Each structure stands twice: as C-alpha cells, then as structure tokens.
Amino acid sequence: MSTLQAEHVYKVFGRRPADSAAAVRALESGADRDELRADGTTAAVIDASFDVRPGQIFVVMGLSGSGKSTLLRMLNGLLEPTAGRILFGGQDLTALSAGELRHVRSTKISMVFQHFALFPHRNVLENAGYGLEVQGVPRPERERRAAEALALCGLEGWEKSWPDELSGGMQQRVGLARALATDAELLLMDESFSALDPLIRRDMQDQLLELQRTLKKTIVFITHDLNEAMRLGDGIAVMRDGRIVQQGTAEDILTRPADDYVASFIQDVDRSRVLTADAVMDDPEPAADACDCPTVTAGTPLAELCAVSARVPHAVAVTGADGAVIGSVPQDRLIAFIGDEQRPPMYCAEVAA
Ligand SMILES: Nc1ncnc2c1ncn2[C@@H]1O[C@H](COP(=O)(O)OP(=O)(O)OP(=O)(O)O)[C@@H](O)[C@H]1O
Ligand SMILES: [Mg+2]
C-alpha cells in the first residue's frame, strides 16, 4: 500500500504559462489570490503539502471556490501542478509520461463524483464494471468483480436494473461499487454524498466507514460540510482561498482552531458527538481504581459520557485499550468543554436527551 504525498503544490490558471510561473513566485513571496486576480490569473491551489497514509480517510474541506476539486484533479494527474510534486507510492506523478499516467489512473486510482455519472443505457452491473472494461478485463471476470462490489455496497439483486430505476442513494452506491470493483488503492471522492438528502447521506457515510474497516483503502474525500468531515476524516485539511489553513484531527480542529476562519466554521459542529472522553479527561483521580466511579472507554463520545456523568455526583473514570484507568472527567470540566462563548453552556442531562 502506498502513501500519497503532496509537496508544495500550486495550481495557477493563467492566460500564458509565463504568467503562471510569475504568479507562483509572487505567491511564494506572500502574495494572495486577490492580488493576482487583477492580472487575470487565478491561484486555485497555493502551496499545498500533506501526507495521506495507507488506509487513512483524508478529508479536504472548505467553502466553494477554495480549491478542493482542483487539488483532487492534481492528485490523479488530470491536472498538472504549476509547481510542486505529487508522489504516490514514492512515484512522482508529475514526472510520468501521458501513457504511464493513464495506466496509474486506470489501475490504482478511482474517482467517485458528486453526480453519479452513471450511463443511462447500461444496467447496474455494466455500470459497476465500467472501470474494468476500460482496463480491458474480459467480460466474465468483469461481471464477477462488479457483482462482488455491488454486493459490498448493498446492491445484490439490482444487477439487471437500469440507473433510472434506482433512488439517488442507490445510484451513488453504484458509483461507489464502480470505484471499488477496480481494486484501486486510492479512492478520490469529490463531494460524493453532497447531492443526497440528509438521512441517506448519513447512511452512505456509515457504509463508507463500514467498508473502510475491511477494505482499508486510502481515501481523499472532499466536502464543504464540516460535520461530514469530522465524521469521516482520520485527518482533515481545511482550505481557504487556495491555501490549507489547518491540518489535523477533528479533535485538533475543534479544540485548537488555527484562526478565526476555522473557528467560525466549527461554531455549528455538535461537539458532543465529535469529541470523545480522551479529549476532555484530566489525570486520573488518585483513588480512581479504588472508588466505584462509573467508567467509560477513551473513545466514548461526550454525549454518552454526559449521560453517565449526570447519574453520579463525582467524576467519571476513563479507561484505555487494556482496561486500565487513564484519566478522569469531573462534571464541571465536561460542561465547560461542551459550552463555548457563542452558546450558553449546556447541561449534561440536556445533551444526553
Ligand atoms: N479550468 C479553470 N480555469 C480557470 N479557473 C479555474 C479552473 N478551474 C477552477 N478554477 C478556479 O479555481 C478556483 C478553485 O476552484 P475549485 O473548483 O477547485 O474549487 P472548489 O473548492 O472545488 O469549489 P466547489 O466547492 O464550488 O466545488 C475557483 O476560483 C475557480 O473559479
Ligand atoms: Mg469542487
């Protein structure tokens, strides 16, 4: 399995290549997007660097126009960076010939788009096998692998249906099956769930997390929804005006936003469902092992921790993977964490309800 790395990647859209090179130099010395726009150049991605480890879901989030899709298109070689390198398994994508790049793209990388991009005149099985067809895989094997991928996505029995007989959520599952059928290591998902209504969207997020537990793909997932980013992402990069302004875990971003922009984003996030006991715990109380404190595991969401905490007058003990006590959470600390300046502190019983 391969690591995906971006090293100081820039993408500038300009009228002439010379303008783009000059724009990169200006950006390197601190110019921002607006300064370049006057000259008719758009700095879509500015100095993006990150590593995505094998098996990780790396979420890129940001408002419309922040450069997410441009970044993603550089990751699969559809767009060439104006400066910087993209390495996949140590191989520099920017140095490959067009033919080599096509090969990498068709065997190692799969894209799942926002709009399902299914072929209306092909049935579900044929749609799911499309990536394999492009690779020249013979029909019997193609059908077997497409059917397996459809089953993974909960679509067994729908193979012979036409796309327009499926709901939006099911069509998106076919899109996901198509990406999984090729056995690509790297899945690039651009706003893949954004067109779905909220309940189906949540369902798809659960399904992706469930699939990921066994398949362990490397996934770059783009979204403008911070709640989605926090649910899915092992690592999150927040983009603003072409730059990555913060990278970290959901907990890092919620507890230590890098600037006012990120802070304004996280205002509406339900902290009680994202943060877990280990994010708020204090050192263990000296007598924690001896007292009959209720215990929760380190990964317990605060909403559940509140329900436990509300039942006792003292702290709740937090246990690690081996069951030993690694911390404690007094009730006042829990309440302080869930509240913030923008909202009055909530009380545990309310959160738990
Ligand atoms: N081919 C292109 N030519 C010129 N400018 C472009 C091109 N593609 C993107 N841009 C510009 O680059 C910037 C980033 O666009 P991009 O599509 O990457 O944003 P995004 O974060 O994916 O937005 P959205 O959430 O709306 O999909 C925008 O200002 C856009 O207008
Ligand atoms: Mg986009």
Per-residue model confidence as pLDDT tens digits over 275-328:
888 888 888 876 655 567 788 998 898 889 999 988 888 889 999 888 888 989
* Three-state DSSP class for residue 340: strand
Q: Which residues belong to CATH 3.90.1280.20 in the chain?
A: 272-352
pLDDT score recorded for residue 348: 47
CA 74/CA 301 separation, integer angstroms: 36
- Residue in 119, 96, 123 with CA at minimum distance from that of residue 108: 96
pLDDT score recorded for residue 116: 66
Ligand 1 test: best mutation among 39, 42, 46, 113, most atoms within 8 Å of CB? 42
* Three-state DSSP class for residue 144: helix
CA-CA-CA-CA torsion for 249, 189, 50, 59, nearest 10 degrees?
-10
Binned at pLDDT 50, 70 and 90, residue 111 comes out as confident
Which tokens sit at 182?
């090729």
Give me the half-sphere count of Cα atoms (radius 13 Å) on the Cβ side of residue 281. 24
CA distances for 344 relative to 113, 210, 336, 340, 352, angstroms: 39, 35, 10, 7, 16
Question: Which atom of ligand 1 is nearest the CA belonging to 66?
Answer: 21
What percentage of the chain reaches a pLDDT higher than 70? 93
pLDDT score recorded for residue 1: 58
Which tokens sit at 246?
């913060």
CA distances for 246 relative to 24, 62, 236, 238, 243, angstroms: 21, 11, 8, 5, 9
Which tokens sit at 197?
């209504």
Which tokens sit at 307?
């329900």
Which tokens sit at 79?
């767009």
Q: Which residues belong to CATH 3.40.50.300 in the chain?
A: 52-108+184-269
> For 135-157, what is each residue's pLDDT tens digit?
889 999 999 999 999 998 889 99
CA 227/CA 215 separation, integer angstroms: 23
Q: What is the pTM of this model?
A: 0.84
Cβ atoms of residues 120 and 138 within 8 Å:
no
Ligand 1 test: best mutation among 11, 12, 13, 59, most atoms within 8 Å of CB? 13
Query: For residue 317, what are the β-bridge partners?
Result: 295, 328
- The one-letter amino acid code at 50 reads F
- Residue 161 Cα, ligand 2 centroid: separation in angstroms? 30
- The one-letter amino acid code at 27 reads L
CA distances for 264 relative to 59, 188, 342, angstroms: 18, 27, 10
Cβ atoms of residues 189 and 222 within 8 Å:
yes
- Residue 331 Cα, ligand 1 centroid: separation in angstroms? 46
How high is the mean pLDDT of the chain? 87
Binned at pLDDT 50, 70 and 90, residue 47 comes out as very high
- Residue 204 Cα, ligand 2 centroid: separation in angstroms? 19
Nearest ligand to the CA of 70 is 1
The distance from CA 61 to its chain's CA centroid, rounded to whole angstroms, is 8
| CATH architecture label of 272-352 | Alpha-Beta Complex (3.90)
Mean pLDDT across 85-90:
92
Q: List alpha helices for 233-347, DSSP H.
A: 250-255, 260-266, 271-274, 277-280, 302-309, 331-338
> Which CATH number does 52-108+184-269 carry?
3.40.50.300
Q: Which residues line ligand 1 (CB under 6 A)?
A: 13, 42, 44, 62, 64-70, 224
Residue 341 has pLDDT above 70, yes or no: no
> For 188-242, what is each residue's pLDDT tens digit?
999 988 888 888 888 889 888 988 988 889 999 999 988 899 989 999 999 999 9
pLDDT score recorded for residue 349: 46
What H or E segment, with its residue span, contains residue 47?
Answer: strand 42-52
Which tokens sit at 223?
């979204």
Cβ atoms of residues 61 and 10 within 8 Å:
no
Which residue has the CA at smallest separation from atom 16 of ligand 1?
Answer: 67
Cβ atoms of residues 333 and 278 within 8 Å:
no
